[in-house]
């Protein structure tokens, strides 16, 4: 019964993702109705809503380790406050090198007042569609961390997915701790699309 429930929830997520992606393509490329239905069906039947991402660095230790790690990342149909939540480990475009990607913890969303521990810095409020991301390695000083404390707020549009499973080594792996709501939403996707053997093959030792 649990398997059936997970499969039904998974297919609902997949249908939502397929429809959203297809409508975006329709808006951009002016697809015909037939082409639109074809894209939806193709994504629904053979598409995946996760991908593998390889990363390295100390910023997200201990969650992601300090050496090479392989992440299973959930693609998000739309990046807004309905799909990402404070506490999520998100994959986003590097603000300074848009062909590279970072993994950081989502710490604040639009409308949040940001107050610095440095009295010289003026408080400010995150604007619409802005967010604040942080590294979680507490051993890195805030001024040395490559996150919003050094490069400032980032656009929600730069988020490409949520990390839901991390393989640090072949024997050290597990789900990524995210917000409670996100983990509940992602559980059927993990149940269907997680393949640790595939991740291990992709992993760079």
Separation between Cα atoms, residue 182 and residue 4, nearest integer Å: 20
Give pLDDT tens digits for 133-175: 999 988 888 888 899 999 999 999 999 999 999 999 888 999 9
Residue 4 shares a structural domain with residue 90:
no
- 10 Å CB burial of residue 160 (0-12, 13-18, 19+) is middle
Domain that holds residue 35: 1-47
**Which is nearest to 92 in space by CA: 156, 150, 152?**
156
Is 185 annotated as catalytic? no
Residue 22 shares a structural domain with residue 110:
no
Residue 128 shares a structural domain with residue 38:
no
Q: Position of tokens 């890195």?
A: 140
Residue 5 shares a structural domain with residue 26:
yes
The pLDDT score that the predictor gives to residue 164 is: 97
Residue 64 shares a structural domain with residue 37:
no
33, 48, 74, 104: the catalytic one is 104
Domain containing residue 111: CATH number: 2.10.109.10
pTM recorded for the entire structure: 0.89
Residue 109 shares a structural domain with residue 197:
yes
Could you give the 3-state DSSP secondary structure of residue 95?
Answer: coil
Residue 54 shares a structural domain with residue 23:
no
> Do 95 and 158 meet the contact criterion of CB atoms below 8 Å apart?
yes
Residue 17 shares a structural domain with residue 87:
no
Residue 42 shares a structural domain with residue 140:
no
DSSP classification of residue 158: G
Separation between Cα atoms, residue 66 and residue 135, nearest integer Å: 12
9, 35, 59, 97: the catalytic one is 59
Give pLDDT tens digits for 46-92: 789 999 999 887 889 888 877 789 999 999 888 888 889 999 999 99
- Averaged pLDDT for residues 21-33: 68
Domain boundary among 32, 47, 62: 47
Give me the number of domains the chain comprises: 2
Is 198 annotated as catalytic? no
In this prediction, residue 130 has a pLDDT band, given cuts at 50, 70 and 90, of very high
> Do 73 and 111 meet the contact criterion of CB atoms below 8 Å apart?
no
Residue 118 shares a structural domain with residue 191:
yes
> Do 98 and 109 meet the contact criterion of CB atoms below 8 Å apart?
no
CA distances from 87 to 21, 31, 60 (A): 25, 37, 13
In this prediction, residue 27 has a pLDDT band, given cuts at 50, 70 and 90, of low
Residue 37 shares a structural domain with residue 82:
no
């Amino acid at each position: 019964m649990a398997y059936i429930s997970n499969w039904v929830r998974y297919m609902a997520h997949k249908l939502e993702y397929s429809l959203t992606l297809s409508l975006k393509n329709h808006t951009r490329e002016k697809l015909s109705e037939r082409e639109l239905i074809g894209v939806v069906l193709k994504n629904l039947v053979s598409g995946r809503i996760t991908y593998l991402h390889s990363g390295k660095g100390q910023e997200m230790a201990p969650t992601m380790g300090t050496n090479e790690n392989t992440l299973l990342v959930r693609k998000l149909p739309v990046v807004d406050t309905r799909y990402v939540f404070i506490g999520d480990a998100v994959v986003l475009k590097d603000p300074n090198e848009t062909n590279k990607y970072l993994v950081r913890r989502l710490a604040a969303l639009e409308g949040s007042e940001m107050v610095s521990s440095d009295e010289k810095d003026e408080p400010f409020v995150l604007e619409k569609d802005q967010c604040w991301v942080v590294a979680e390695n507490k051993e890195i000083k805030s001024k040395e961390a490559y996150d919003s404390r050094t490069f400032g707020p980032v656009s929600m549009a730069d988020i490409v997915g949520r990390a839901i499973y991390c393989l640090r080594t072949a024997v050290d792996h597990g789900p990524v701790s995210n917000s409670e709501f996100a983990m509940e939403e992602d559980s059927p996707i993990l149940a269907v699309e997680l393949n640790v053997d595939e991740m291990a093959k992709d992993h760079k030792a």
